[in-house]
Amino acid sequence: MNHDSISSTSARGTVRTLSQQEELPLLRDHLLRLDRTSRHDRFHGFIDDSFIRRYAERCANDGTVIIAYFEDGVVRGAAELHPPEQSPDAQPEIAFSVERSARRKGVGSTLFRKLIAEAHAKGYGSLRITTGAQNDAMRALATKFGAQLTFRHGESTGSIDLTERHKAEQVPAAASPAIAPVTPIAAARAIVDMNRAYWRMVMQMSGWGRAA
């Protein structure tokens, strides 16, 4: 199994992809350890344990790639690359979570870099990220990796174009605005697409809308 240590940051752990079924408990327990605010940020308001358990189980069974950051054998951070089939426009969704004790040490950035390499390897052309409008940390992280975020109705959503050469950490954060100008029609379409994908996922997890 390929373990990469994080050498360029102050974090001391290692990063590798989880095996889907067998290592489900590692992802689940990491997500359950997130505090209330972090759960809210990560799941757009859904914070109860049963939702998180079902979510982790679903990830283990639907082809989601989980790249995990380990410290002493415990997963303290995760990047999720969801398969394009889950999205109405076939754009793979991505999401990140790092436990508070491991934040601001470059873990999120390392996970993002690995996730993009994985997406490249799969031949994906772009990725979608959605986060709360007040989530400065995620917006900073996404912007650092070239996401163009649009902001509406309390949420930021945006795409990362993988067809251009990826500019991770070569673009100073200050030179890359977090919120790009966007036409009202494009913004509305992005929100509608995002909401459709998100609610479809929630309904499927609730046992509704299998055919949605």
Ligand X SMILES: CC(C)(COP(=O)(O)OP(=O)(O)OC[C@H]1O[C@@H](n2cnc3c(N)ncnc32)[C@H](O)[C@@H]1OP(=O)(O)O)[C@@H](O)C(=O)NCCC(=O)NCCS
Residues that bind ligand X (CB under 6 A): 38, 41-42, 95-98, 103-109, 131, 135-138, 140-141, 144, 173
| Closest distance to ligand X from the beta carbon of 25 (Å) | 20
23 close to 11: Cβ distance less than 8 angstroms:
no
Record the tokens describing residue 36, joined without a space.
């209330």
Residue 15 vs 24, nearer CB to ligand X = 15
Give bridge partners of residue 65 from the DSSP assignment: 81
Cβ 71 to ligand X shortest distance, Å: 12
Shortest Å, Cβ 144 to ligand X: 5
Nearer to ligand X by C-beta: 6 or 24?
6
Measured from the CB atom, the residue of 17 and 207 that comes closer to ligand X is 17
For the bound state, the minimum distance from the C-beta of residue 81 to ligand X, rounded and expressed in Å, comes to 12
Residue in the shown chain whose Cβ atom is closest to ligand X = 108
94, 146, 90, 150: CA torsion to nearest 10? 90
Nearer to ligand X (CB atom), residue 24 or residue 34? 34
Centre a 10 Å sphere on the Cβ of residue 55 and count the other Cβ atoms it contains.
Answer: 21
User: What is the spatial distance between Cα 107 and Cα 149, in angstroms, rounded to a whole number?
Assistant: 21
Q: Distance (Å, rounded) from C-alpha 18 to C-alpha 13?
A: 15
